[in-house]
A and B are shown apart, each in its own frame.
Chain A
Amino acid sequence: MLGKLMKYEWKATWKLLLSANVLIIVMTGLARCMVSLVDQAGRSDFRMVDFVAVMVLLTYVGSMFAVCVGTTIFLIHRFYTSTYGDQGYLLHTLPVDTHHIIIAKVLVSAAWVIINMTFIYMSAIFLLATTSEIFRSMMEGMVDMIEYLGAEKISAFTVIMTLIAFVFSVFAKVLKVGACISLGQLSPNHKLLFSFAWYVGVYVVEQLVQSIYFVITIYFQEQIANSDYWSYDSYFDRQWETALLAGIISCVVYYLLTWYVMSRKLNLD
């Protein structure tokens, strides 16, 4: 049943979200054309093409922002209405396990977030690659930064694990929203408001835990830095471990909270 749930979740989301990604492609193409035009035009004090290029680039940045925010709002709205809104009456009377419902929603939402982010990053790289000068200086800057941090010693394994940690962090973010919406349902009224309050509360707790972790880490790092064992590559190697662990723990906690509300405390209005 998981496959069927995922199929219908994908069907319910793909049209709008694919359109958003098509918009990214169109805006990238447009922005790149404008940058090329500016490059090719001769130099003078004021040119109309500069003004148009600035407007197009501003629209490009605005549309990237709108796509990011729009995708997030759409996915949150979709989760809420299909799970706890009127459509929840159908979803929760389907002969499917609660685990399957959560997994299907999380996998499809996370997939869209990753697709969306990939499109935006690719778009930015594509645009920067237009003017070889800017691109070259940016690449040189990145190489300098990597050399400065001593990160050229990072292994392929570390890169792969960092990507896996990133994927887990996306799952954790999606599950966090799901858990907060679910926890808001425990309130007898003003459920959406309580969902938002839960999100703020969870965010504060997360920041607190993160701050405590950083204080402890910095304290120990200073001690290690004073010793002969300190090196940047060991610092980088540790980053994915921490990120992965935090991602997995967050996923488990938010998943269990969502599951608990859906299976033990479901109260559809």
Chain B
Amino acid sequence: MAPVVQCMGLTKTYGRKIALNQINLNLERGRIIGLLGPNGSGKTTLIKIINGLLKPTAGEVLINGQRPGVDTKLRISYLPERTYLQPGMKVFELLQYFQDFYPDFRVDRAFDMLARLQIPPQERLKNLSKGTKEKVQLIMVMSRDADLYILDEPIAGVDPAARDYILHTIVSNYNRCGSILLSTHLISDVENILDEVVFIKYGSIVLQAGAEQIRQNERKSVDQFFREVFAC
């Protein structure tokens, strides 16, 4: 079976600035992969290209062997780093929206997660706090049975208790046949759930290895190893 994501010579430039430089990367199925790098290393650019929100300057990306398009969007569940919800919508209307467009959306799962967080479905999104909106967005994304979940900085800017809830939600709700690509620079918080890590620096992949492999070979935690690799 083909890797869920294949990047071949993927390059993205903004004028003279190189955001991604000849990325070659394969992501296998059934794994939780950490896309780790400091701010401005190219994580979000890579994620946007996989989602079809950016066009690469050169190279190609394939999802399930296909270029980004309608078919790949059916199989990817994406959580961006920003709030993409219409503020005037009510929570239950958002559920209806996702149900209308994504056949793999599990509305019962979404209601269950909302109930656990005590988020009223009748509430308008504009009346929710920033943190609650982010949780609602995460619930929408994790209520799908996708092949690939792409989560861009899901725990940035939230308190430690919320981080735990978010990571728990991710691990307990994703489709086990699919993969998770989780981008963050808060390594210590996510380290325990990662099967594999990809280090990205100045738009280039500097390492792709199993999390356990790093711990055994380097005799360090992934967080410590990350600090070493990305030391200023």
State the A residues within 8 Å of B (CB): 1, 4, 8, 11-12, 15, 82, 86-90, 92-97, 188, 264-268
Contact = CB atoms under 8 A, between A and B. Distances in A.
B48 A268 contact: yes
Nearest to A81: B86
Interface stretch (B33-41, B68-76, B167-175): B68-76
B53 A266 contact: yes
B102 A95 contact: yes
Contacts of A12: 86, 88
Return the 4 tightest CB-CB contacts between A and B, nearest first: A89-B84, A90-B84, A95-B74, A95-B73
A269 to B, nearest CB: 10
Contacts, number: 60
Contacts of B97: 8
Contacts of A95: 70-71, 73-74, 101-102
B101 A1 contact: yes
Nearest to B78: A93
A66 to B, nearest CB: 21
Interface string B109-145: 0000000000000000000000000000000000000
Interface of B: 14-15, 48, 51-55, 70-71, 73-74, 76, 78, 80, 82-86, 88, 93, 97, 100-102
Contacts of A92: 51-53
B55 A264 contact: yes
A268 B102 contact: no
Q: Give the one of A11, A87, A88, A95 with max B CB within 10 A.
A: A95
Contacts of B83: 86
Q: Give the one of B14, B73, B84 with max A CB within 10 A.
A: B84
Contacts of A90: 84-85
Interface of A is mostly: loop
A266 B54 contact: yes
Contacts of B54: 266-268
B53 A268 contact: yes
6 contacts: A82-B86, A89-B53, A90-B85, A93-B51, A96-B70, A96-B73
Given A12-B88, A88-B53, A268-B48, 6 more contacts: A93-B53, A93-B76, A95-B70, A95-B71, A265-B55, A266-B53
A58 B222 CA distance: 71
B82 A188 contact: no
A82 B88 CA distance: 13
Q: Give the one of A1, A90, A267, A268 with max B CB within 10 A.
A: A90
Contacts of A188: 14-15
Nearest to A7: B100
Nearest to A3: B100
Given A1-B101, A8-B97, A97 B70 contact: yes
A268 B12 CA distance: 13
A194 to B, nearest CB: 15
A8 B100 CA distance: 10
Contacts of B101: 1, 4, 94-96
A263 B119 CA distance: 36
Nearest to B12: A267
Nearest to B94: A90
Nearest to A16: B88
A3 B158 CA distance: 38
